[in-house]
Structure 1
Amino acid sequence: MKYAVNVLLATTLSLGLLSGCMAESTTATSTAAAATTNYTNGKQYATLSASIPTQAPSNQVEVTEIFWYGCPHCYELEPTINEYLKTKPANVYFNRVPATLGEKWTFHAKLFYVGKMLDSDGSKGIHTKIFDALHKQGRRIDNDDAIKRFFEAQGFTAAQVDTVLKSMELQTSLNYAKEVTNKSGIQSVPSLIVGGKYLTGPAMMSEGSKLIDVLNYLVNKK
């Protein structure tokens, strides 16, 4: 990795590999914010040695989900993420970033951003449909022709898909995903980063620890 993580983070990540997708599960649940609970650096979360770039407005705290479409653990986490999006604090800016830990991962990052650009308001539920296509239907979307067929089946025209595939915005988004992946130093997914500096995820949850509670704790951490 071009960017190193500290020893504490490296140790935590090595433990997390047991229940995450690595380069070439357990779903955490929660019912309430953990306003009065203290969590421990090195157990339920870790501090990155170098902050990742964020996209949140200055008055908001970014929660970044780093995922891979091919990861069953990321797919299993989706209900928890959707629950969090319904209940997250008003000052939280949620940002999905696809990991680029290998060639297939990078292609799936491209798939994510094409979907995000075509379904910019999320009204077609493209993100969920991509996950379902890969994990429920067993489809392979691993080249540009497959991307075009998939999005045309969702009601987009070939011209719309071609425009996105050739756009500078797509390349900029992919460069951003690579930068986040490198600077975070992650070795497995799903991972969540709060405020650009605190790493957590389902692999770091011990018995009794709940992911949404930990996210809420980290959002309020100074």
Structure 2
Amino acid sequence: MQLSKRHFLLAAGALVGTAVLLNVASAPADEARPYLVLDAPTPPPGPVEVIEFFWYSCPHCYHFEPALRDWVVRQGDGIVFRRVPVGMRVQQLPQQRMYYVMQALEMGEPASAALFRQIHEGQQHLDTEAALAGFAAKAGIAPQRFQAAWRSAAVQRQVDAATRLHTSMQVASVPAVVIGGRYLTSPAMLSATMPMWNQTAAMGHAATLRTMDTLLARARQDRVAQ
């Protein structure tokens, strides 16, 4: 199913189970509340913003993709969906930058999806500037254009903004979803509340989406009560 640019900026996904940890401790989760409430102001009226924080090399992000994509489609115009790449470890920084380089070069969603596939299905690392330049070259991007985008001030500003955002929103593992700027949840948090025996990725994905439904409804109620 084709997504509009407004709703789906990048293909990504996640396996439930062990989170891909960043440089802070995992967010606490308990059976009663497998999410965090962030200290944030109530956003203005309108579609609720939903942000997924991800990392290209994260297998959990890659495998959560189909379930997340379907959920985004079901929401229609009720949400504005975007993805934000994390860069809290040195090895994450090239791929974080590459997300915005691909936007600057107008490579589009297919290129982003291809990057995910080559990493996870093609077993290619693609986690250095040189490797990513090679990926872009195969997509028809001249080396000079790639280097100009890679080193541009505009891309650097986007990278800096992404880092500030995932830091301020207390993102501790990927994938993580923030709804309405206030509610943070993740497959790892849901997985921690489920029995370890007979747990499957599909079960964890379904539980995560149910929690996202609840948090989306709560974000909308917050706006009404403002």
**TM-score category of the 2 structures, normalised to the smaller one:** 0.7 to 0.9
- Offset from partner CA, 1:4-59 (integer Å, 9 cap, x none): xxxxxxxxxxxxx96210126xxxxxxxxxxxxxxx996232201357xx9xx962
Residue 156 of structure 2 aligns with which residue? 171
CA separation of 1:84 and 1:117: change in aligned 2, threshold 3 A: farther
CA distance in 2, matches of 1:68, 1:76: 12
Residue 168 of structure 2 aligns with which residue? 183
The structural deviation recorded for 1:196 is 0.9
Residue 8 of structure 1 aligns with which residue? none
Aligned length: 185
> What is the percentage of aligned positions where both structures have the same residue?
25
Contact 1:50 1:183 in 2 (8 A): no
- Offset from partner CA, 1:188-210 (integer Å, 9 cap, x none): 11100001110011122245763
CA distance in 2, matches of 1:47, 1:86: 25
Q: Which range moves more in the overlay, 81-90 or 149-158? A: 81-90
CA distance in 2, matches of 1:66, 1:109: 11
Residue 214 of structure 1 aligns with which residue? 211
The structural deviation recorded for 1:151 is 0.8
Is 1:66 aligned with 2:53? yes
- The amino acid that maps onto 1:22 is L
- Offset from partner CA, 1:40-90 (integer Å, 9 cap, x none): 996232201357xx9xx9622110001111211111111112212321241
* CA RMSD in angstroms, aligned pairs only: 2.6
User: Residue 194 of structure 1: which of 158, 176, 179 is its match?
Assistant: 179
Residue 77 of structure 2 aligns with which residue? 90
CA distance in 1, matches of 2:214, 2:35: 10
Residue 22 of structure 1 aligns with which residue? 21
Residue 65 of structure 2 aligns with which residue? 78
Is 1:99 aligned with 2:89? no
Unmatched segments (≥5 aa) in structure 1 = 1-16, 25-39
The structural deviation recorded for 1:134 is 1.2
- Offset from partner CA, 1:122-151 (integer Å, 9 cap, x none): 3xx122111111111121223322221101
